[in-house]
Amino acid sequence: MAAGIDDISIFIPRLYMDARDFAEARGLDPQKLVKGLGVSKMAIVDANQDAACLAANACLKIMQKNKLSPEQIGRLYVATESSFDESKAMNSYVIGMLEQVYGDGSFQHCGGIECKFACVSGSYALYDNINWIRAGESEDKHALVVVSDIAKYDLGSSGEMTQGGGAIAMLLNESPRLLEFDPKVTSTSIKNEYDFYRPFGKETPIVHGQYSNLLYLIQVKNALIDYKRKALKTGLIVMKEGQSMLDHIDYFNMHLPYSNMGKKALAYLVRHELRSTPKWKEIIAEIGMEEPIPNDPRGTIESIISDLDFMTKDSEFTKRFVRTDTYQEIYENKVASSLIASKSIGNIYTASLYLGFRSCLEYEFQKGVNLDGKRFGFASYGSGSSAMVFSGVIQPEYIEIVKDMNLEAEIGERQKLSLSDYEELHENKRTPEQSILNAKKEFILEHVEKISSDKRGERRYAFVK
């Protein structure tokens, strides 16, 4: 049975920190953020927002747009790494908010859980619900998968320049207008790692940046190898002599902790795919140096990172490689459009991959590209660590969804934060009642109980008309 994404909606906080202002305040070169990382704005949540109300707002938008009633939703999953409860699932908070609009008990039939595996959890949630539909258990109902996160790092840390926040809701069914997922090819790679994690009780993560970036590349490559095996085995893809997987995937969506990480990930995967093709000799000649090999090719990530001679040479090789005509053509045609939205929003963890997908749809459509029948590849990564690679094909009815996409209009009028207001919000010095913006037609966090022992931590939400 077919299954896929019928529609997609976004909800992004309207407050933002300008990357240049932030860089100057932290004594950094603004070009490090704008050009080095690909960050121009970071979306920042207000004092009356959390990951649950971001998710509820994204769900409400997609339901209202499609004129759906609660009876038409069979499942509602929330994937996040911004959870604030170690027992009560975030989707229950979301259902509680939606019932303020649709009526008490209107979603009581709707199953679902909160999913957690860092940034890859949204893809696992998506896969689970797609298979629920394929198994024929949906009874013609839709599934809602919401990816919602707030990327927050310690003040003054290296990660602080890659913050952001937002939610994306995806409506799934058996006759999708937007994208149908390819069956029997989804592939994963998993390993117990401490590249990025947030210990119990800590609001911000512990990050080993260089280690995590390299692990991301390796895990996605491993999953891609298995995807390729399955795609060939099932006959989804038939490779001709001299071809690579790049010839059979029209667009790539990468996990985007920051925009330019998508470029790095693409370069790594393209190198891997082209090594076994005749094209590689031409590329090496154009680069003017041989591809470096670590002293211990089968060593650990730590041994590779400590191999300074290799790391220096590999960095130089990569710089030359991304300037080649071959790479530039692949980048411009398959990835560039997916990075645009991330530059003005920042890191949104589980939602970053799907923000890239949403971005690619809008900006390719604006260029006049016919996306019907195009295959999208998804390279999802979550620290801890796991990668998932899967694909899907754009459906003929996609124009119904894409023609109205307008990122700026959907976010709404944005307000730039001063450094002092940003730091007050970051350090939780404002209560929900002290929000900077006035909400309208959206869910907000009203109160978090901190006094009563038997109700401590309870959250109250409201829909502001």
- What was the pLDDT predicted at 297? 76
In 3D space, the residue among 124, 99, 186 whose CA is nearest the CA of residue 443 turns out to be 99
- What was the pLDDT predicted at 15? 98
* Angle CA 202–257–269, to nearest 5: 135
Residue 142 phi, psi dihedral angles, 5° rounding:
-90, 160
- What was the pLDDT predicted at 299? 77
Q: Are 144 and 107 in contact (CB under 8 A)?
A: no
> What is the bridge-based pairing of β-strands 179-181 and 4-11?
antiparallel
In 3D space, the residue among 408, 412, 402 whose CA is nearest the CA of residue 341 turns out to be 408
Q: Where does 88-134 show beta strands of DSSP type E?
A: 114-115
Query: What torsion do the CA atoms of 40, 358, 83, 210 make, to the nearest 10 degrees?
Result: -50
- What was the pLDDT predicted at 164? 97
In 3D space, the residue among 165, 162, 130, 157 whose CA is nearest the CA of residue 145 turns out to be 130
- What was the pLDDT predicted at 452? 85
- Give, for all 465 residues of the chain, the pLDDT tens digit: 899 999 999 999 999 999 999 999 999 999 999 999 999 999 999 999 999 999 999 999 999 999 999 999 999 999 999 999 999 999 999 999 999 999 999 999 999 999 999 999 999 999 999 999 999 999 999 999 999 999 999 999 999 999 999 999 999 999 999 999 999 999 999 999 999 999 998 999 999 999 999 999 999 999 999 999 999 999 999 999 989 999 999 999 999 999 999 999 999 999 999 998 999 999 999 999 999 998 887 778 888 999 999 999 999 999 999 999 999 999 999 999 999 999 999 999 999 999 999 999 999 999 999 999 999 999 999 999 999 999 999 999 999 999 999 999 999 999 999 999 999 999 999 999 999 999 999 999 999 999 888 999 999 999 999
- What was the pLDDT predicted at 91? 97
- pTM (whole model) above 0.85: yes
Site of tokens 């060593």: 299
Residue 111: CB partners within 8 Å, gap ≥ 6? 74, 75, 76
Residue 45: CB partners within 8 Å, gap ≥ 6? 13, 15, 54, 150, 165, 425
| Residue 23 in tokens | 């860089």
| Distance of alpha carbon 328 from alpha carbon 324, whole angstroms | 6
| Residue 447 in tokens | 């109160």
- What was the pLDDT predicted at 188? 97
- What was the pLDDT predicted at 257? 94
Q: Are 159 and 207 in contact (CB under 8 A)?
A: yes
196 strand-pairing partners: 207
State the amino acid at position 315 in one-letter form: S
| Residue 429 in tokens | 């010095």
